[in-house]
Amino acid sequence: MKKPLNLYFDHTLLKPEARQEDVKRLCAEAVKYGFYSVCVNSCYVETAARELADCGVKVAAVVGFPLGACTAETKAFETAQACEKGAGEIDMVLAVGALKDGRDDYVREDIRAVVKAAAEAGGGVCVKVILETCLLTDEEILRACRLAEEGGAGFVKTSTGFSSGGAEARLVALMKEAVGGRLQVKASGGIRDLKTALEMIEAGADRIGASASPAIMEEYERGRPHTGRR
């Protein structure tokens, strides 16, 4: 690993039934384990930002979630609002249907609209593009990676966790090869144990999105000599 395991995690809560108390618990867990960020729906960004003020844990907001099928203008507006309320990262869903139609210009401009809205908010907000790899062929994944780069994104991400499949180590490696060192890769969807998390990191993941992050960290710490959490 290139960094401590805890710093790979975007501790995630995106369930539609999530309540404010659940988001507060998510934030408390992120502080306890020193996770890189929490990832929440945009309606909870303000709550998360307030809970995490001055503690170093970032807030990531999903945009166009989970289908990616709203307009670029809608995604840009949601991005601007999320940034205004305290989001430091944006995880946007790719326009999957447009990609499969071969409408590369549309997909690129959809990403670019979100990147532009994030940039105008200031603060160096990073944009991750969720590809939903379970719905794509390898060729489409490679094309999506190229379009994310051309659109100005900082990351490509495997999955929403709300479709027919999640992260796969093979596809993480494919994405990593496609973007080289120019973009980073986030593995997300179905990562519930230490073995799977480490497989994703070995395949090239720079970030892990998971709701089971505390359980994974506890499993990790049980398996090594205690040196204190970093």
**Active-site amino acid positions:** 91, 157, 186
Closest CA to 189 of 174, 169, 206: 169
Distance CA 32, CA 19 (A): 20
- Whether the upstream peptide bond of residue 4 has omega within 30° of 0, thus cis, is no
Query: In degrees, to the nearest 5, what angle opens at C-alpha 166 toward C-alphas 15 and 58?
Result: 55
> 220 and 5 in contact (C-beta within 8 Å)?
yes
Q: Coil, helix or strand for 165?
A: coil
The span from the CA of 24 to the CA of 28, in Å, is 6
